[in-house]
Chains A and B, each alone.
Chain A
C-alpha cells in the first residue's frame, strides 16, 4: 500500500489538492483567521507523510508539477496590474514611498531582532530577504552568504503569518484605503499575501502584485549594499 501510493505520480498532486480543499472547507466552517488553508494543508500533508512513512522526495515526484505552475501564475499577475494601471499611475508616489518604507522597516527590524537574540551576521543576511518572493529571496540569501534553507522557511512563515494577521493588522494600523491594503500585503507577505489580496478585490490584488515585483527588485539592490556594513 505504502509503495503503491509512493510510486503513483498523481498521488502527491491528489493529496495536496485534497488537503487544500479541506483547509478551505475548515476555514469556511470555523471562520478563524488562524485556519489559513495553506497552513492547514501544510500540517495535514506533513502529518500524512510522516504517518505513512512516505518521504518528501517521493511526495515531490508528483507534487512538483503543482509548483511548476507558479511561473505562469506569476506572469498572470500582469492581468490585475494592467486593469488597474490608471489607479497605479494616480498613486505612484504612494506606491513607491510605501514600498520603500516597508523594505527599510524590514531591514532595520531584522537587524534589531538579530541583535536582541545575539545572532550572527550569517543569520542577519539569512532573514533579510524574508519579505520577498521565494525565487528572488533564495538568490539574495545565497549571494550574501546566508543559509538558504532557513531563508525559505522564514519566507513561508512570513507569507502565511502575514495573511493570518492581515485582518487584525488592517484594524490596528487603521488601513482603509484599498491601495494601501494591497501594498502592505504584497510588501510584507509577497506572493502568498497577494493571493489573499486578490480575494479581497482587484485594486488590492493589482497593488499587491506590483509590490512583489518592486519589493523584490529594491531588496536585490539594497541587501548587498547593507549586508557588507553589518
Chain B
C-alpha cells in the first residue's frame, strides 16, 4: 500500500492546487501552487520526505515525456506558424541564448564574489 499512500498525498496536493487556481484571480498554474504547498508541508513536517519520495521521483523521472502531447500539437498550427516561421525560430533561439548567458553569468559572478570574500 506504500505507493497508494504516496500517490494519494501527491494527488491531494495537486487537487488543492487546482482549487486554488480556480478560486484565486492570479494566473498561477495549479502545479506551482502545489509546489509551494508541498514545500510548506515538508518544512512544517506535516508531510515527510519518505512519505512520497518514491512516487515523486518516478514522476520527476518521467516528466519530459509529459510535454510530448503538447509538442505534437504543433502539427495543428502549421498554418499560423508558417507566416512567422523565420522570426519565430530566430526570436526563440536567440533570446534563449541571451537569457541563458544573463542568468548564468550574473548568478555565477555573485557566487564567486561571495566566495572570494570568505577567503
Binding site for B on A (CB under 8 A): 12, 16-17, 19-20, 37-38, 41-42, 45-46, 49-50, 56, 59-60, 63-64, 66-67, 69-83, 85, 91, 93-95, 97-99, 101-106, 109-110, 113-114, 117, 119, 123, 127, 130-131, 133-136, 139-140, 143, 147, 149-150, 152-154, 156-162, 165-166, 169-170, 172-173, 175-177, 179-181, 183-185, 187-189, 191-192, 194-195, 198, 205, 209, 211-213, 216-217, 220
Contact = CB atoms under 8 A, between A and B. Distances in A.
Given A72-B10, A101-B106, A156-B71, 7 more contacts: A19-B68, A70-B31, A72-B13, A74-B31, A76-B57, A117-B86, A159-B67
A63 B68 contact: yes
B22 interface: no
Given A109-B94, A109-B98, A209-B35, A75 B88 contact: no
Nearest to A45: B72
Given A16-B68, A217-B28, A76 B95 contact: no
Interface string B75-93: 1110011001011111111
Given A45-B72, A94-B110, A179-B107, A75 B34 contact: yes
B80 A82 contact: no
24 contacts: A16-B72, A20-B65, A56-B72, A60-B69, A63-B68, A67-B66, A69-B62, A69-B66, A76-B10, A79-B38, A80-B60, A91-B111, A93-B114, A94-B114, A99-B103, A109-B95, A119-B84, A119-B87, A127-B92, A130-B95, A136-B29, A150-B88, A166-B100, A179-B107
B99 A187 contact: yes
Given A63-B72, A188-B99, A220 B111 contact: no
B72 A46 contact: yes
A78 B42 contact: yes
Contacts of A78: 34-36, 38-39, 42
Contact of A180 (B13, B65, B108): B108
Contacts of B98: 105-106, 109
Given A82-B43, A153-B77, A59 B72 contact: yes
A154 B31 CA distance: 21
B95 A73 contact: no
Nearest to B31: A74
Interface size class of B (residues with CB under 8 A): 35 or more
Contacts of B73: 56, 152
A150 B80 contact: yes
B111 to A, nearest CB: 5
Contacts of B42: 78, 82
Most buried by A among B37, B55, B70, B88: B70
B108 to A, nearest CB: 4
Contacts of B32: 74, 133, 135-136, 212-213, 216
Nearest to B38: A78
A42 B100 contact: no
Nearest to A48: B72
A75 B31 contact: yes
Given A16-B69, A173-B100, A94 B59 contact: no
A181 B32 CA distance: 22
